[in-house]
Structures are given as C-alpha cells and as structure tokens.
Amino acid sequence: MYESLRTLNTIDFKNEFENLRSDAELILSKEGHIISLNSIAEELFNDSRYFFDYFTSYYAEQALYYIKKICDKGLHSGFSLLHRFHNKESYMQYSGALKNGYILLTGREMVAPLPSLELNDLLSQFEHAYAIVSPSLNIEQSNEMFRQYFSEDTKKNCGHKLNIQLLKEGSEGLAVASRLVKDVLEKQTSLQLEVKNDHSGEWLNLKGVYLQDINSVLLMIYDLSYERKYTHLLTYQDQMESVSYLSAGVAHELRNPLSVIKGFLQLSALTDSFDKYSDTILSETERMNEIIDNFLSVARKKAKKETRNPKYLLESVIDIIRSECLMQGIHFHYNVEPVLDKVEVNESSFKQIILNALRNSIEAFPGDNKKNVFTLQSFAEKGYLVIKLRDNGGGIPNDVLTNIGKPFFTTKDKGTGVGIPLCKKIMEEHNGTFAIESKVNEGTVITLAFPLKKNM
C-alpha cells in the first residue's frame, strides 16, 4: 500500500487542488489601480478598482509602504493588511512581486492575529486594567478591571468596540482612549497620557504599547486617584509644617533683638545715659521689623542683599556682642583681620546668625563660672570671609550634634529647634557654609564662610 502511494503525484490531482485554493490574486499598477483579479479576489474587491479604497487611512499608508517596497526590491512577502470589505474587516496575508512594471499580489484571508502565549502569561499576572485593541478599535482581549470602564451601551450590547467611559463625569473617555490607540499604531511606539477629572478627583494614566507581532495595542489603565490624593495630603502636611516652622522661627529670631534692647535699657538705667545707647536700641528695633518682613516675604522672594565692607559689618555686631557679654558677665575677645574685598549679604540676616550663636553660647555656659569666654575671629581665606565663633561652655554630645541641624530638634526645655536650621538656610541663600564643631567640657566652634566679591 505504501509503495503504491509513492507513485502518486500532486499533478494527478491538479483540478482538485485548484478548487481548494483560497488565494486571491491581483495585478496592480504601480499607482494602485486594480488591472486584473482572479475569481477569489473578485468576490472581495468588487466595490472599487482602486486597491487603496479598501483600507482605513492608517492601513492605506501601510499598503502604500509595502507597494513601494515591492517596486524597490522586486519582491516582498509575509506582510498583513487590514481590509474593509462590504462593511466588514478582514486581515489579508500577502506576498508580492514586480513583473514587467506591474505589481503581482497573492493574498489569503486570515483570522485576526492572537497574542503570544508568553504575552498571555505576562498579562495574567498584571494587576491593573488592560485590553488588547486592534487597529479597528475592537477589544480583542481584556481583564475584569478593564471592563469596569466600558460604557453602558457596550455593557448592554456586549459590544467589543473601544467605547469606554474613563471618567464618571464627562464623555471624553472614548475620544482619549481611541486617539491614544491610533497614535500608537501610527507611530508604532509606546505612548502615554494622563486624564483627570477635577470635579470627582479621578486621575488616570493611560499607556499604549505597540505589539508588533499582532499589529495591535496593549492599552493599560492605571488609577492614580488615591496616589494623587495621598500626595496632596502629604503636600498639605508639609505646608502646615512650614507654617509652624515659620511661626516658630519668627518667635525665635525676635528674641535676639529683644534681648539686646532689654540689656541696653538696663545698662542705660544703671549708667543714667540713655542717649548713649538710644541709637543701638533703635537699630535693634529696626532689625526686628526687618526680621518680620523677611519671614513674611519668604514665599515671594529672598531677603534683599547688599554689598558691604566686612569691617563695617563686624564692627556693628561687635558692639552688640560686647554689651550683651558685659550684661551676662562673659569675657569677650575678638580679632578682626583686615579684608580688602567685600561681601554681598542681608545685614539683618548676618547679625541674626552671629547673635543666635552668641545666645546659644550664653545658654550653654555654667551659671556660676566666672571664666566664661566668647570669642569672635575673622579673616579672609580662599576667596571667603571666614568668621569663627568660639565658646568654652559645656560642649555638645555627639548624639545631639548629629541631630542639631534638624528642624524642631532641641534639648532645651523652652527651645523651638529652629535656630540652627534657619542659620543654615540663611547661609545657603548667601552661597556660604555653616559648620559646628564641639567637644564635651571643651566648648563649641561655629564657622561661617561668606564668599568675597573682588573690588572692581
């Protein structure tokens, strides 16, 4: 039996095989006009004699691309196009050749390509809403989470068109999703966009991924509504902390000029010479006003800076330090080296940093120690005006030193924990640096460095 079968040839069944053939054959001009068809193609291409009339605009461009490729190379095979025949859509798998200036095409109807097993395995583990959408906007596959976005008409009629209601209030769902799918197909790349509804608080992220093997789009929907609400709450909390920080900062920084004014008033009463200290008292009152202005304008602009001579700045603050130390029984020493260049600073902020350091030192000194010393030293180094503020107080333990720059961190019973962070912030705004070194029972050194400006 086997031997007898081997003597057969397909030629013996030529007519039968011809009847089984399902290939459509077309002869086209290079411009796309249909010159001739076989009987199978005649059943499909019977509305128009122009090949490109059987496509949507996107696939018409794809068909033109393949025809050009056949003209350039003489042969091309294995490409698929989505046709529109008699109000239905069908995929055709084509091979083409160029002969005597004509395009010869053979094509066979095929079912819509399906996702690969690997893709299906991946999608089965996907937690967000997804759908695979064909170029005709048919939903070929979707999960339960995606189906919650179907419009009411789609649910009632069990339709498969991409007609989804992305937002509970509004009708832009269809247009947005459809447009994204079309753009992905046209550009054959991944695209995404965000859709939000200010009334309901919904916030969705749509992402379309081009699936080259099946010429479709994987449309994914990420619901960002809760994430955005959480972010909004964090932002609100951060704003509230900033307000609290700002309020505490104002209270803290006003203590310094108030303390100076109190000290000078006490000193003028002891010496019966108010006129001698009135200028300094008025100056500190003005500084209080500037501190308030600076804090109120912190959200709008930075504090105004002016070019100043370091000698002038330091002399004005040294007078205040000397008087304060005198009232507190602290020995004050200073050494100011001549500096030719100038600094660009906000004078009120400059004083604020130094007097904050002085106040911290005063609070760190033992109450019964008559050898408490506060020292100010300044000099120019590597393009910076360096100011070292030193005390011989109790020092700062290492565990406290590592946290001392954090907002609201304090070891004082009535402390606010904003003094050092504010000083650091001011130095950042001046493009300078702020550093603290300390040893227990030896004292603390604060080093400030302001950039110098060359005299022109």
Three-class SS of the chain: CHHHHHCCCHHHHHHHHHHHCCCEEEEECCCCEEEEECHHHHHHCCCCCEHHHHCCHHHHHHHHHHHHHHHHHCEEEEEEEEEEECCEEEEEEEEEEEECCEEEEEEEEECCCCCCHHHHHHHHCCCCEEEEECCCCEEEEECHHHHCCECHHHHHHCCCECCECCCCCCCCHHHHHHHHHHHHHHHCCCEEEEEECCCCCCEEEEEEEEEHHHCEEEEEEEECHHHHHHHHHHHHHHHHHHHHHHHHHHHHHHHHHHHHHHHHHHHHHHHCCHHHHHHHHHHHHHHHHHHHHHHHCCCCCCCCCEEECHHHHHHHHHHHHHHHHHHHCCEEEEEECCCCCEEEECHHHHHHHHHHHHHHHHHHCCCCCCCCEEEEEEEEECCEEEEEEEECCCCCCHHHHCCCCCCCCCCCCCCCCCHHHHHHHHHHHCCCEEEEEEECCCEEEEEEEEEEECCC
State the pLDDT at residue 85. Answer: 84
pTM: 0.39
First to last CA, the chain: 111
State the pLDDT at residue 350. Answer: 85
pLDDT in tens, the chain (456 residues): 444 445 556 566 666 656 656 688 999 999 999 999 998 888 889 889 999 999 877 678 778 888 888 998 888 887 778 888 876 778 788 888 999 999 999 988 876 555 555 566 666 667 788 888 888 777 777 788 887 776 555 544 444 555 554 444 444 444 678 888 888 888 888 888 877 766 556 778 888 888 876 778 888 888 777 666 655 555 555 445 555 555 655 666 677 778 778 878 887 777 777 777 777 777 778 777 766 665 655 444 456 788 888 888 888 888 778 877 877 888 889 999 988 899 998 887 888 788 888 888 887 787 666 788 999 999 999 899 999 999 988 888 888 887 776 665 566 655 555 667 778 888 888 889 989 998 888 889 999 999 998 765
State the pLDDT at residue 160. Answer: 52
